[in-house]
Amino acid sequence: MKARFYKRTFQFKFPAGTSRGILREKYAWFIELWNEDQPDTVGVGECSIIPGLSPDYTNDSEYEARLDELCASLDGSHLDSWPSIQFGWEMALLDLKSGGKQHFFDNEFRTGKRKLPINGLVWMGNETFMQQQVDEKIEAGFSTIKMKIGAIDLEAELSILDSIRRRFNAREITLRVDANGAFSPQEAPHVLQKLAELDIHSIEQPIQAGQWDAMKEICRSTPTPVALDEELIGIHDSEEKERLLDTIQPQFIILKPSLHGGIKGTQEWIKLAEERTIDWWITSALESNVGLNALCQLTAEYQNNLPQGLGTGSLYVDNLPSDLVVKNGHIYLEK
């Protein structure tokens, strides 16, 4: 088997605001695998990183040095601390096995028979821009909307959520929010109470990761269910995963294979969560359509009917061609 990689930059359609800053472009590296006797059959995997969040990315030179080493050794057994590369490597191996057809898993999503419910994502910006996105998502048929909060004035963000709730009750439109750790442990109870008054489904990562005792107390007393996201990053050991879940006891966990251990690591998180009756959903780490297809097929390995965070394929002006379709709040492969 042979391997190589290349880098690609994707351009956002609009400045995508988060509590960590504004994203205008997105980097990804693609691993290609092939066998010498079949050089035209190539397996492709995407290594997707988000600077400032991905635990395995500091700069291009260090990242590409690890990819060089992997492509030379073809040994993917020591990638625990490189989750985005782990996911790309696993993806490329599965794709090569399928004959380069992007058949990562054998399930009904891959054959076009299953549609996955997804949330519509509202990015941070000024109040007018955020309200415009909300209206577009509702018009497009989304029944679950996720809004990033914590960067502009909280009262303005609550006002947007209130405007949705005055038009649609919680049975008609499910509202999720993602704080990306924007609030302090002291601020969080007030925010969670305000969100509860608006029938918010859940809040992702209300406080910064690493404050287990504070997060445990928040999850114990919160009127708004809490979903852990960044909290899971960098934890690879099975016993440490169990300790985190048993200590904090969150209502949900959110899994991004590019951040949380690739396919193998994600499957272990799901197993441990389900043993503890903790619900979960999968979210992209802003992958292109190549990685997004693999994420959807992985998700479809489970009977999880919660809306997933897999609607990011329309973010880029130059995304890769795909048969993925988003319509009426669902994603599916058009066959």
The answer to whether 203 touches 226, Cβ cutoff 8 Å, is yes
Q: pLDDT averaged over the chain? A: 94
- Asked if 175 contacts 161 with a C-beta cutoff of 8 angstroms, the reply is yes
Whether the pLDDT of residue 19 is over 70: the answer is no
236 and 139, same structural domain? yes
Please count the other Cβ atoms lying within 10 Å of the Cβ belonging to residue 175: 23
For residues 142 and 176, the answer to whether their CB atoms sit within 8 Å is no
Place of tokens 């590019």: 258
Instruction: Tell me, yes or no, whether 81 and 131 share the same domain.
Output: no
Annotated catalytic residue, options 26, 137, 146, 148: 148
Residue with tokens 């439109």: 173
Gap between the Cα atoms of 200 and 216, Å rounded: 20
What is the predicted pLDDT for the residue at 23?
81
pLDDT tens for each residue of 56-88: 999 999 999 999 999 999 999 999 999 999 999
Rg of the chain taking only CA atoms, in angstroms: 20
> Both 42 and 73 in a single domain?
yes
- What would the pLDDT profile of 219-251 be if each residue is shown by its tens digit? 999 999 999 999 999 999 999 999 999 999 999
Confirm whether 256 is a catalytic residue. yes
Q: Is residue 104 part of a domain?
A: no
Alpha-carbon 309 to chain mean position: 6
256, 264, 271, 335: the active-site residue: 256
Strand 38-48 to 21-35 pairing? antiparallel
**Active site includes 148?**
yes
Provide the domain limits for residue 64.
Answer: 2-97
Number of structural domains (the chain) is 2
- Residues 142-194 pLDDT 10s: 999 999 888 778 899 999 999 999 999 999 999 999 998 999 999 999 999 99
| Residue 219 lies inside a defined structural domain of this protein | yes
The domain boundary, picked from 68, 97, 126, lies at: 97
Report if residue 299 sits inside a domain. Answer: yes
pTM > 0.85: yes
Report the CATH number at residue 121.
Answer: 3.20.20.120
